[in-house]
Amino acid sequence: MDLSNDDNFYVAVIAIINSFQCFSLVQLLTSGGFNSSTSTIMYFVYEKVFKFSQFGYVNVMAISKQAKFVTNYSVIMAGIMLEAIH
């Protein structure tokens, strides 16, 4: 199973587009809802940056999200490599 960089880039772009679509629904319909019941990660980032000016908080959140993505990707790739060997 070959996972090229083009495929990963395509999945990342589609995921970003989907997150922006979810953001617009939350923003227009509920603004996060009661007690943030319909809030998404993108809406949470928007609130922290543009409403509360907490840039450092969002920066740490982005770095931890990237670290989680790299860790998950490494585990998946290791599993694929082990499967290919056996």
- For the chain, the domains span 5-85
In Å, what is the CA distance from 77 to each residue of 48, 51, 52? 34, 39, 39
For residues 37 and 40, what is the distance between their CA atoms, to the nearest angstrom?
Answer: 9
In Å, what is the CA distance from 32 to each residue of 24, 44, 56, 73? 11, 8, 22, 30
Least confidently predicted of 51-55, 57-61, 67-71: 67-71
Confirm if 26 and 32 have CB atoms less than 8 A apart: yes
Task: Name the pTM for this structure.
Answer: 0.48
pLDDT band at 84 (very low <50, low <70, confident <90, very high): confident
CB atoms within 10 A of CB 81: 10
Query: How does pLDDT run across 2-51, given as a tens digit for each residue?
Result: 556 677 778 878 877 877 777 777 777 777 667 766 777 777 878 888 88
pLDDT band at 1 (very low <50, low <70, confident <90, very high): very low
